[in-house]
Chain A
Amino acid sequence: MSGCAQKSLKELLPAYREGGLAGQDLRRVEEHLAKCTDCRAELSLVTLLAEEPVPDPGEAFWLAFPGRVARAVQEQTSPAAGSRARRWFAPRFALGAASLAVAVLAFVAVLLLRPAPLRIARVPSAQNTPALEDVLQTEPVSLSDMSASELAAAAAWANSAFAPIREAIRENLPDEGEQDLSDDLSDMNSAELQRVSIMLDRQAPSRRDRLHSDRSPVAPEPCFV
């Protein structure tokens, strides 16, 4: 069987199948198909190919795909930007938690480095005034051994020494009434906003409830047990 040589007609077969022909072109093709087995066979082949089904990956795939592209773009354009983005997703009050941790470490360092409680608590008596160095080297302080006045002196010292640290912690905790996150939030898409909302709900549901109930400032949680 020799092939049909009418190339110009064959080029029209896909359009004919798609219903995209009209007028003279449509008539030409229909008349030719009535006579040409080769072109009828080619039309069958074209139809078979055109009707090849494409499996649908599902609505969840389509909904998630733009986000997938966005993440891939972030990873590709800047690995540092990717890690910045990850940090950016964290709740803002994590900054306060980090500052609190630093303050705790600073307080512990102060306690370890300063022998002051011993010096202050152990008020030398008139009769017996050992050298400070002797006391420090040989006599560790036990709270149970301290008198009431010694304990009061130690507490006074601790309060005065700890006051700047307590102030620093308060300053670094975000004020929920004043911090404006609108710029940051407007950059987020709906999936990211939902994620942040879920994280906020998990982190401080009681604080959120108190906020909603009385709108009064919430006292910071005690730092030390």
Chain B
Amino acid sequence: MDDDLDLIKRTVAGDREAFDELVRRHQRQLYAMLFRMVGNQEDAADLMQRAFVKAFTGLGSFERRSSFKTWLYRIAINLAKNTYRDRARAEYVSIDDVVLSRNPRTLDALIVQENRSLVRKALAGLPEKQRTTLILRIQGEKKFEEIADLMQCSVGTAKANYHHAVQKLKALMERGAKAEKDRS
């Protein structure tokens, strides 16, 4: 964070190279998070560019109450929310699409490769805050305290969103397992 602060000061003083370095420092991780949120490379790259531009133009008002990374991610998440909100409405997750193993430990079968795309679809069907929390916790490996800071909620709320997200995903799989069991 100290290194980021130094680059921020230099950027505000007019050093363009300093902001280029900030971009290079954070671009890959930010891109990965955005890709998981929106599901395609083009949108992820576009959102990432917009997030950095917004960060640059707002650097003068960055109050340093959080790290630059958290602040940047917050900008990106808010931008992604608006993009993904419209797209998620168009997606439909049908429980019939869930292919389940005949293994009695049905949920363990999720580890099978072909279930990846189904889990992705189920993720797309989650409410936005739950999906974002799940992505940040599991794929972004952020602690609940960091997630709370990013999403500007309490740690308890972040944990609750995470729990609800996981339960919903599991419910989709369990309903499918039950349907499969009833058919056989």
Interface positions of A (Cβ within 8 A of B)? 1, 3, 7, 10-11, 14, 18, 37-38, 40-42, 44-50, 52, 54-55, 57, 61-62, 65-70, 72-73, 76-77, 187, 189
Residue ID in chain B nearest A45 by CB atoms: B110
Q: Which residue of A lies closest to B160 (CB)?
A: A7
B139 interfacial contact with A, CB 8 Å: yes
A11-B162, A49-B119 given; name 8 further pairs at CB < 8 Å. Answer: A7-B163, A44-B108, A47-B111, A52-B139, A65-B23, A66-B24, A69-B23, A70-B19
A40-B138 contact in complex given A48-B119, A57-B41, C-beta closer than 8 Å: no
CA distance A46 to B165 in the complex (A): 11
Q: Which of B20, B27, B57, B139 contacts A189 (CB 8 A)?
A: B20
* A42–B170 CB distance below 8 A: yes
Alpha-carbon gap, A184 to B137, bound state (A): 46
Binds A, one of B48-56, B62-70, B77-85, B86-94: B48-56
Q: Contact at B52–A48, with CB atoms within 8 Å? A: no
- B35: interface (CB < 8 Å): yes
Provide the residues of chain B in CB contact with A189, threshold 8 Å. Answer: 16-17, 20
User: CA of A14 to CA of B159 in the docked complex: distance in angstroms?
Assistant: 12
Q: Could you say which of A3, A10, A37, A69 has the most chain B C-beta atoms within 10 Å of its C-beta? A: A69
List, in ascending order, chain B residues with CB within 8 A of A72's CB.
Answer: 49-50, 53
Q: Which residues does chain A contribute within 8 Å of B28, judged by CB atoms?
A: 62
> Chain B's nearest CB lies how many Å from the CB of A63?
9
Show 30 residue pairs from A and B whose CB-CB distance is below 8 angstroms, ordered by the A residue. Answer: A7-B163, A38-B107, A38-B170, A40-B105, A41-B107, A41-B108, A41-B170, A42-B166, A44-B108, A45-B170, A45-B173, A46-B166, A49-B139, A50-B138, A50-B139, A50-B141, A52-B36, A52-B116, A54-B31, A57-B41, A62-B27, A65-B23, A65-B45, A66-B24, A68-B49, A69-B53, A70-B16, A70-B19, A73-B56, A73-B57
Q: Which residues of A contact B45 (CB under 8 A)?
A: 57, 61, 65
* A179 to B: closest C-beta gap in Å: 23
Q: Are B163 and A10 in contact (CB under 8 A)?
A: yes
Q: What residues of chain B lie closer than 8 Å to A70, measured between beta carbons?
A: 16, 19-20
- Is B115 part of the contact surface with A, judged by Cβ < 8 Å? yes
Which residues in B have some Cβ–Cβ distance to A below 8 Å? 16-17, 19-20, 23-24, 27-28, 31-32, 35-36, 41, 45, 48-50, 52-53, 56-57, 105-108, 110-111, 115-116, 119-120, 123, 134, 137-139, 141, 144, 159, 162-163, 166-167, 169-170, 173-174
The answer to whether B137 touches A14, judged by C-beta atoms less than 8 angstroms apart, is yes
- Residues of chain B within 8 A (CB-CB) of A11 are 144, 159, 162-163
Give the complex CA separation of A49 and B134 in angstroms: 9
| A3 partner, pick from B141, B159, B170, beta carbons under 8 A | B170
Which of B50, B111, B120, B174 has the most A CB atoms < 10 Å from its CB? B111
Could you say which residues of chain A place their CB within 8 Å of the CB of B31? Answer: 54, 57
Q: Which residues of B contact A47 (CB under 8 A)?
A: 111
- Which residues of the partner chain A approach B169 to less than 8 Å between Cβ atoms? 45
Beta-carbon contact of A40 and B141 below 8 Å: no
Closest B residue by C-beta to A75:
B53
In the complex, the 4 A-B pairs of residues with the closest C-beta atoms, listed nearest first: A41-B107, A66-B20, A66-B23, A54-B32
Contacts of A44 in B (CB 8 A): 107-108, 110-111
A69 to B49, CA, bound (A): 6
Find chain B residues with CB under 8 A from A18 CB: 141
In the complex, the answer to whether A46 meets B138 with C-beta atoms within 8 Å is yes
CB of A17, distance to nearest CB on chain B (Å): 8
- Asked whether B139 lies within 8 Å of A40 as measured between CB atoms, the reply is no
